A and B are shown apart, each in its own frame.
Chain A
Amino acid sequence: MRTLDIKLFRDLVRLWAQALAIALVIAGGVSTVVLAVGSLRSLEETRIAYYERHQFADVFALVRRAPKTLLTQIAEIPGVAAVQGRIAKLALLDIPQFREPATGLFISLPEDGQPSLNRLYIRLGRMPEPGRGDEVVVTEGFAKAHAFRPGSHFAAILNGRKRDLVVVGIALSPEYIYAIGPGDRMPDERRFAIVWMSEKALASVYDLDGAFSSVTLKLMRDASEGEVITRLDALLDRYGGQAAYGRKDQTSHAFLEHGLDMLRNMSRTLPPIFLLVAAFLINVTLSRIVALEREQIGLLKALGYRNAAVAWHYIKFIIVIVTIGVVIGSAVGTWLGTYVTEMYGDFYRFPFLVFVQSPDVYVAAAALSLGAAIVGAVRALRDIVTLPPAVAMQPPAPPRFRRLLPTSFAIRNVLSQPAVMMVRNISGNPIRAMFTIAGMSLATGILIASLFLNGTMEALIDVTYFMSDRQDATVSFVERRPLKAVNQIARLPGILAAEPFREVPVRIRNGNIERRIMISGRPRDADLNRIIDTDLHPVVLPKTGLAMSSWLAQILGAQVGDFVEIDLLEGQRRTVSLPVAALVEDYFGIQGMMHFDALARLMREAPVVNSVSVSLDGNERDLFYDAIKRLPTVSGVAMQRVSLANFRDALAVLVTTMANIYTGLAAVIAFGVVYNSARISLSERARELASLRVLGFTRGEVLRILLLELAVLTLLAQPPGWAIGYGLAWTLQTKMAGELMRTRLVVEHSTYVLASAMVIAAALFSALVVRRRINQLDLVTVLKTRD
């Protein structure tokens, strides 16, 4: 081994703690990127593979009753590759030992087994035997929630008649990765199931022999979805067709896409920030560490080493540290990526996971870290190697300290001598102080950016579940019912209040921007389904005109007072123009809201309802459940309480787990930065501090001088850190917001406090290490080295 390499090795051993701290900063940056991109790519590939292997359809439509002969015409629409007609009906379930009403979406299976589109993945058991009308396959989540196995029994009220069913298979479907019951906001696997059964059996129950009520299409690669949908709508129109829609508006796909989109946006926002912050910090740190080597660099030059050889020596030093960091970061990132992929895979119940290797990510993260580190080192090296060796071997000239205040104002009258030294030291090295502050601010900032997500989730829950949708339950009907159905529900046991709720699918358009949404009609003074304006105040619905999600207004580029065009997709399909009357703060989906009567007038129909929102007397809940199960017109009941619990258990867990992972990595970076700042300033000032000890200062006093500076810099770094944190949080929140879900930017005071506390804790720990070092400070050796 060359002697310089021996030096390199021994220097690394000597500086192991600092080298490790820097490596950890790099590891923090690298692992966020590896984790985020790795898990995202794996989940995206998994979805693609799942969709492809199971022939997930591209276009979906519901129809009241259409003859099967129509399927041939649908297949002839240019661009259509495959067609699957089927029966799909909602029905209440009656499950033994389960009081709450549950809902099943019954989907017919061809007699010969698997459908050609949306094929099932059978986890357990088998497909129903031909001709066995009581055999069903159910979704895995539902089966697990009720401990169903092949052979288990439950009942369903199909078209008003109770029927006993036997589970023969447990399955997953690409069409219902995310299955949400009627009126619900979150999947509830206990209370909502997809139930597949023989087409013959379903057709006879619903009198749909030779007919279908749902059709799904697979398109050719170059087909135009819009054109196919237009032609399909035209064909289905006379059979009571509801507007067809593509994957984008298919609930399961849209929610899955949104979940991935949140992950995608998180991975496009946080990791690059982390990596850049880490890069900046190692740049600054290594620059300072190399600057400390000034005298040795001068000596090597004096001995005849060329600049390039000296520079290469230090760059090798840095390559080793960066390599350690990249290796740790890649390993941790890969492990966390697998963990996150599995967590999401579990949540979505993917039948399998495709883990994608992303060598490009490792290379890019390593290259950026190495680049930043080398640039930092070269910056310091360039300054030193350009010095003549005679100068480099001397310590740098003392900085030009200046009086900041007039002589008459003696600063020492106000501050103690150590405090004066601290103030002068900071003002004498303003750039170094600035970089230290910048490093710690960024550390605080990334902590806030990962911590705030938890608070945001709580704010979302608060507005959604406690301010706006305050009903205890939503009772949905199989088909729309006249207004008097509300009274019918209101008379059920346990009901304290009931409000009508009408939903109409529409296409809303402003200029050439168009979205498919639901417009809900609700009473003007609704107390359960309230609407909340962007200032978080409940507002009364305007008598005329349309209130809409402020997010939707933003997408459409519409403001209050503007007119938007609306294609009604139900009943008499008309196109109307409505003024935007109010903007609403909501976080799930995009929607329009209207006064109940106004919507009825718009639809040119007598007032009807799709569902009823109710508030319940908690003590009579069971009676209410029993009564609901006896109503054949009801397709399901969504419980707000359950929905909230599911939200917390499921979606919120995904977000907060991610937030916690990022917080952990941010904490590692923060610690690395603060620790290095403390250690380097100790090295930079070792001689000065030893001199003070020689002059009779106690260890405690010397420590105080050094720590006072660290404390002041740490505290000074907090306010800009909060600002950076808020900025990062804003960026992240903006990027994560989508049509299906978004959040309000809420950075709680406690988030700032916690982030600062973590940085300060890192500072305290560093102070302890520094104290140990100061206790070991060898006065004679320090003073004997040349000055």
Chain B
Amino acid sequence: MADLVFSARALTKTYTSGETQVLALRALDLEIFAGEVVVLLGPSGSGKSTLLNIMGGLDHATSGQLFFRDQKLTNLDDRGLTAYRRQHVGFVFQFYNLIPSLTAYENVALVTEISDHPMRPDEALALVGLEPRVHHFPAQLSGGEQQRVAIARAIAKRPDVLLCDEPTGALDSKTGIRVIEALLGINAQLGTTVLIITHNASIQDVADRVLFFADGQISRIHKNEARRTAAELVW
């Protein structure tokens, strides 16, 4: 069996928003293995993003335990979480979150400058097929291109895990498929563990495992016997 990357025990998260309390994760248990491609499916508010944020060190759990390899993330303070993100995690967000005042190259350099063994920014951009557009500003790029810059930025540090929150959510199907292709390519070439949140059920076919979410819990886990390639996807 492959190495364990994440393991969660009774992971719980409560949000207080104004006067209401929202239970986003209810005592969730989970294991993720090295090199896996995992797709998280489920309706809005079912806890997918909350889980991904906690796994990526972007947010704190209210209770329970979460380990990254041997490191207990739920014990880390802000400084520890920052170091964890810096060394191990790459993020891809639905709305790309590029810095508008920086070019594609510079957006990637933003991360390579603070990483230990990064790729060169142009190398990362080449991996997502963006060599010709490295010196364009986000506003000069299409949505798909912007998302691929975001992926390049996420992988440039050679992260152990790539956490993608609705990476194709804002894209049309053709561009979406290119983005998925890029993510799978990273997984194949670098062995990076990839977690993808999506509303798009057809994407589940590219995963090793699919986690179905409902009401802050994993309601079902499906294991694909055979993964499809991105090119085979249709939506």
Interface residues of A (CB under 8 A from B): 2-4, 6-7, 10-11, 14, 295-296, 299-307, 309, 386, 388-391, 393, 397, 400, 781, 784-786
Given contacts A305-B114, A784-B170, contact A397 B95 (CB under 8 A): no
Task: Verify A3–B97 contact, CB threshold 8 A.
Answer: no
Task: Verify A393–B86 contact, CB threshold 8 A.
Answer: no
Contacts of A295 in B (CB 8 A): 97
Contacts of A390 in B (CB 8 A): 49, 53, 56, 58-59
Chosen A-B contacts, 27 in total, with CB atoms closer than 8 Å, are: A3-B102, A3-B106, A3-B110, A6-B102, A7-B102, A10-B101, A301-B82, A302-B56, A302-B58, A302-B97, A303-B85, A303-B86, A303-B110, A304-B83, A304-B114, A304-B157, A306-B79, A306-B82, A307-B78, A307-B79, A388-B59, A390-B49, A390-B53, A390-B58, A397-B17, A400-B18, A786-B97
A299 to B49, CA, bound (A): 16
Given contacts A3-B106, A390-B59, contact A303 B170 (CB under 8 A): no
User: Does B31 make an interface contact (CB < 8 A)?
Assistant: no
User: Does B214 make an interface contact (CB < 8 A)?
Assistant: no
Task: Verify A299–B101 contact, CB threshold 8 A.
Answer: no
A6 to B78, CA, bound (A): 27
Task: Verify B91–A303 contact, CB threshold 8 A.
Answer: yes
Contacts of B95 in A (CB 8 A): 784-786
Given contacts A299-B97, A388-B60, A784-B170, contact A6 B106 (CB under 8 A): yes
**Closest B residue by C-beta to A1:** B106
Task: Choose one: A10, A304, A307, A397; the contact of B86 (CB below 8 Å).
Answer: A304
User: Does B94 make an interface contact (CB < 8 A)?
Assistant: yes
Task: Verify B102–A302 contact, CB threshold 8 A.
Answer: no
Contacts of B99 in A (CB 8 A): 7, 296, 299
Given contacts A302-B91, A304-B85, A306-B82, contact A3 B109 (CB under 8 A): yes
Task: Indicate the member of A304, A391, A786 with the most B CB atoms within 10 Å.
Answer: A304
A338, chain B: closest CB distance, angstroms: 40
Contacts of B106 in A (CB 8 A): 3, 6-7
Contacts of A309 in B (CB 8 A): 114
Chain B contacts with A in 32-76, Cβ cutoff 8 A: 49, 53, 56, 58-60
A648 to B141, CA, bound (A): 67
Contacts of A306 in B (CB 8 A): 79, 82
Contacts of A400 in B (CB 8 A): 18-19
**Closest A residue by C-beta to B60:** A388
Given contacts A389-B58, A390-B59, contact A786 B94 (CB under 8 A): yes
User: Does B113 make an interface contact (CB < 8 A)?
Assistant: yes
Task: Verify A388–B58 contact, CB threshold 8 A.
Answer: yes
A391 to B53, CA, bound (A): 9
A393 to B114, CA, bound (A): 20
**Closest B residue by C-beta to A303:** B111
Q: What string of 1s and 0s marks CB contacts (under 8 Å) between B97-121 and chain A?
A: 1010110001001110111000000
Task: Verify B113–A2 contact, CB threshold 8 A.
Answer: yes
Contacts of A307 in B (CB 8 A): 78-79, 82
A613 to B109, CA, bound (A): 87
Contacts of B101 in A (CB 8 A): 6-7, 10-11, 14
Contacts of A4 in B (CB 8 A): 110
Q: Is the interface of A mostly helix, strand, loop or mixed?
A: helix
**Closest A residue by C-beta to B110:** A3
Given contacts A299-B97, A304-B86, A307-B78, contact A391 B110 (CB under 8 A): no
A473, chain B: closest CB distance, angstroms: 74
A356, chain B: closest CB distance, angstroms: 44
Contacts of A296 in B (CB 8 A): 99
Contacts of A14 in B (CB 8 A): 101
A389 to B56, CA, bound (A): 10
Contacts of A391 in B (CB 8 A): 59
Task: Verify A10–B102 contact, CB threshold 8 A.
Answer: yes
Contacts of B49 in A (CB 8 A): 390
Task: Verify A393–B97 contact, CB threshold 8 A.
Answer: yes
A14 to B102, CA, bound (A): 12
**Closest A residue by C-beta to B58:** A390
A611 to B136, CA, bound (A): 88
**Closest B residue by C-beta to A392:** B58
Contacts of B97 in A (CB 8 A): 295, 299, 302, 393, 786
A292, chain B: closest CB distance, angstroms: 13
A397 to B153, CA, bound (A): 28
**Closest A residue by C-beta to B107:** A3
A388 to B49, CA, bound (A): 14
A785 to B60, CA, bound (A): 25
Task: Indicate the member of B91, B114, B139 with the most A CB atoms within 10 Å.
Answer: B114
Q: A3-B110, A6-B101, A299-B97 are in contact. List 6 more A-B contacts (CB 8 A).
A: A7-B106, A299-B99, A300-B110, A302-B58, A304-B114, A785-B95
A301 to B99, CA, bound (A): 13
Chain B contacts with A in 164-189, Cβ cutoff 8 A: 170
Given contacts A3-B102, A784-B170, A786-B94, contact A304 B111 (CB under 8 A): yes
A781 to B143, CA, bound (A): 11
Task: Verify B85–A302 contact, CB threshold 8 A.
Answer: yes
Contacts of A2 in B (CB 8 A): 113
Contacts of A299 in B (CB 8 A): 97, 99
Contacts of B87 in A (CB 8 A): 304
Q: What string of 1s and 0s marks CB contacts (under 8 Å) between B131-169 and chain A?
A: 000000001000000000000010001000000000000
Chain B contacts with A in 10-38, Cβ cutoff 8 A: 17-19
Given contacts A296-B99, A299-B99, A397-B18, contact A304 B82 (CB under 8 A): yes
A386 to B78, CA, bound (A): 8
A7 to B99, CA, bound (A): 8
Contacts of A388 in B (CB 8 A): 53, 58-60
Closest 9 CB pairs of A and B: A304-B86, A10-B101, A390-B58, A390-B53, A786-B95, A390-B59, A388-B59, A389-B58, A304-B85
Contacts of B157 in A (CB 8 A): 304
Contacts of A784 in B (CB 8 A): 95, 170
A786 to B60, CA, bound (A): 22
**Closest A residue by C-beta to B85:** A304
A584 to B25, CA, bound (A): 81
A386 to B87, CA, bound (A): 21
A593 to B51, CA, bound (A): 90
Contacts of B56 in A (CB 8 A): 302, 390
A2 to B114, CA, bound (A): 10
A389 to B60, CA, bound (A): 10
**Closest B residue by C-beta to A6:** B106
A305 to B60, CA, bound (A): 17
Task: Indicate the member of A6, A7, A295, A303 with the most B CB atoms within 10 Å.
Answer: A303
Contacts of B93 in A (CB 8 A): 393, 786
Contacts of A305 in B (CB 8 A): 82, 114
B81, chain A: closest CB distance, angstroms: 8
Contacts of B113 in A (CB 8 A): 2-3
A317, chain B: closest CB distance, angstroms: 12
Contacts of A781 in B (CB 8 A): 139
**Closest A residue by C-beta to B159:** A304
A781 to B146, CA, bound (A): 13
A634, chain B: closest CB distance, angstroms: 81
A397 to B16, CA, bound (A): 11
A152 to B174, CA, bound (A): 100
B48, chain A: closest CB distance, angstroms: 13
Contacts of B19 in A (CB 8 A): 400
A388 to B50, CA, bound (A): 12
Contacts of A389 in B (CB 8 A): 58-59
**Closest B residue by C-beta to A387:** B59
A298, chain B: closest CB distance, angstroms: 8
A14 to B157, CA, bound (A): 29
A9, chain B: closest CB distance, angstroms: 8
